[in-house]
Amino acid sequence: KRSVTPCSLPQIAATGAEGFAAVSAMYGLMSVNEYITHRYYQHDEISKFDVLKKVRANNPKLVAVFDGGGHVEHHAETLDDMSLRQDEKWKKTAMFERLNDEKNEWRGTAFNWDVSGMMCMQMAPQVYPVFMGIFGWGFLPTSGFFGAAMMLHALVWNALHPAMHGLHDINWKDGASSSVLSFLRGSPYFNYLYDNHKGHHISGGRTNYNVACPLVDHIVGTFETKELWMERLAVKAAVKAAGKPEGDKDLVVA
């Protein structure tokens, strides 16, 4: 039986420290990318920058490219209990038609292979310099770790997001299968992610941009606790009970 000698303990500690640092770095990169993509692309907040306003004014076709990919429509379709609108008024809108694509059964809630590929391309220019340059890893170890992390992210997302909106699971044919981590539904971990994302919808898409990798919201001040968004929900319910108009949800641009 192999024993651990005192001289090998520093090596074990160093390896453990490097492993922890690598996992932390990858999680941080994923959280940053998830936040930026969700807030500035999917919610189209990038359009608030003067530079892009000028670019769009001179290149109208870019508006269709950088319009959130149907995410604003997803918010308009989602009710406060996270179910999706089914009323006839909603079904007559252009927003509904955009989401009602037979090629996307999950109405923009799932990570299909195309979306996973896009996130890989988005993160690659950050991941390889960090892990090959700072950690000194080779190309293959970096690629293996990167691929595993991306797959885990997609598995968490697909087990959580479609189901919380009442949609069926995605399978391996179309993306990372929801069934792999479906056993985590109802666990404290998934309940936290669920509450965090529900708060995002309740706030009109102005808080809690992280979905599968919470971190950046806490750093930049856009995190909203369950207590706060429940207060917001109670106010909305009181307004509705008083018979005051809340505005037309069809026109919401969260």
State the average pLDDT for the chain. Answer: 84
Q: What is the pLDDT of residue 254?
A: 37
Asked if residues 170 and 177 have their Cβ atoms less than 8 Å apart, the reply is yes
Among residues 254, 250, 253, 252, the alpha carbon closest in space to that of 97 is found at: 250
- Interval 67-82: pLDDT, tens: 566 788 888 889 988 9
SS3 21: helix
Residue 34 confidence class, pLDDT cut points 50, 70, 90: very high
Q: Tokens 């005051």 identify what position?
A: 244
User: Helix or strand or coil: residue 62?
Assistant: helix
Check: CB of residue 187 under 8 Å from CB of residue 208: no
pLDDT at 144: 94
| Furthest CA-CA distance within the chain | 76
Q: What is the DSSP letter of 139?
A: H
Distance CA 107, CA 101 (A): 7
d(CA 226, CA 193): 11
Residue predicted with more confidence, 205 or 103: 205
Mean pLDDT over 211-221 rounds to 96
* pLDDT digits 0-9 by tens, 185-207: 999 999 999 999 999 999 988 99
pLDDT score at 29: 97
- Structure confidence at residue 248 (pLDDT): 45
What is the distance between the alpha carbons of residues 152 and 213, in angstroms, rounded to a whole number? 11
Amino acid at 130: V
- For residues 11-15, average pLDDT: 63
The span from the CA of 207 to the CA of 5, in Å, is 51
Q: How many Cβ atoms sit within 10 Å of the Cβ of residue 240?
A: 12
Residue 67: what pLDDT?
57
At 10 the pLDDT is: 57
- Confidence label for 251 from pLDDT (cuts 50, 70 and 90): very low
d(CA 151, CA 28): 16
Question: For residue 216, what pLDDT is reported?
Answer: 97
Other Cβ atoms within 10 Å of 151 Cβ, number: 13
